[in-house]
């Protein structure tokens, strides 16, 4: 595995070694020894799996008191995966990083606590699997409006499908009291 920092240094792109032959392929999607010394932690407490169709945007989600780090991988299809730094006082506050994850490139993206996460499905269907560093707590769930112009994510869907909950989140500037602190 190769772990590469992105433009947001805490967000890490993981490129696995893929073994292919006439039968198909094999890869490790997580290995503590291979990722040792990177920002990716060794311990996760929950795995999630979502299936979405073309043009669906999920996010931008985070938890405030029990923040989740997420290691995101696509088992089927293709997504544009996004991390937004929402840590007040961070030198990269409000900046975002987008990466294509797919069943072709087999990359994973590490999104640490303190970052909002979202993705847009760019294939007919996508199965997204992600490991979390803390348990989901519905009372602690927060979000930043997916289309916040101050963040300016360049989503690939022209007319996305967004959940009613995701459609009414506030922009980053309006959410400052509900954001984690840096450091």
Q: What residues act catalytically? A: 61, 130
> Going residue by residue through the chain (183 aa), what tens digit of pLDDT does each one get?
999 999 999 999 999 999 999 999 999 999 988 888 888 999 999 999 999 999 999 999 999 999 999 999 999 999 999 999 999 999 999 999 999 999 999 999 999 999 999 999 999 999 999 999 999 999 999 999 999 999 999 999 989 999 999 999 999 999 877 898 887
Q: In the chain, which ranges are E strands?
A: 2-5, 12-15, 19-21, 24-26, 46-53, 56-63, 70-76, 78-85, 96-102, 108-111, 115-121, 125-132, 141-143, 161-162
Q: If we measure between CA atoms, which residue out of 102, 131, 116 comes closest to residue 58?
A: 116
Sign of CA dihedral 17, 20, 25, 26: negative
What is 42-176's CATH number? Answer: 2.60.120.10
Quickly tell me which residue has 């947001």 as its tokens. 8
User: What is the model's pTM?
Assistant: 0.94
């Amino acid at each position: 595995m190769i772990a590469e920092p992105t433009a947001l240094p805490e967000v890490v792109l993981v490129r696995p070694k893929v073994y292919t032959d006439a039968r198909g392929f094999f890869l490790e999607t997580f290995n503590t020894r291979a990722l040792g010394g990177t920002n990716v932690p060794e311990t996760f407490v929950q795995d999630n799996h979502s299936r979405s169709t073309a043009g669906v945007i999920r996010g931008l989600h985070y938890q405030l008191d029990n923040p989740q780090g997420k290691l995101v991988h696509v088992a089927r299809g293709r997504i544009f995966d996004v991390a937004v730094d929402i840590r007040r006082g961070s030198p990269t506050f409000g900046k975002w990083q987008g990466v294509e994850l797919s069943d072709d490139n087999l990359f994973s993206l590490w999104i640490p606590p303190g970052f909002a996460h979202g993705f847009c499905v760019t294939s007919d269907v996508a199965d997204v699997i992600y490991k979390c560093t803390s348990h989901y707590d519905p009372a602690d769930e927060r979000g930043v409006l997916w289309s916040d112009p101050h963040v300016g994510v360049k989503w690939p869907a022209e007319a996305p499908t967004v959940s009613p909950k995701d459609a009414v989140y506030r922009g980053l500037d309006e959410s400052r009291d509900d954001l984690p602190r840096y450091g």
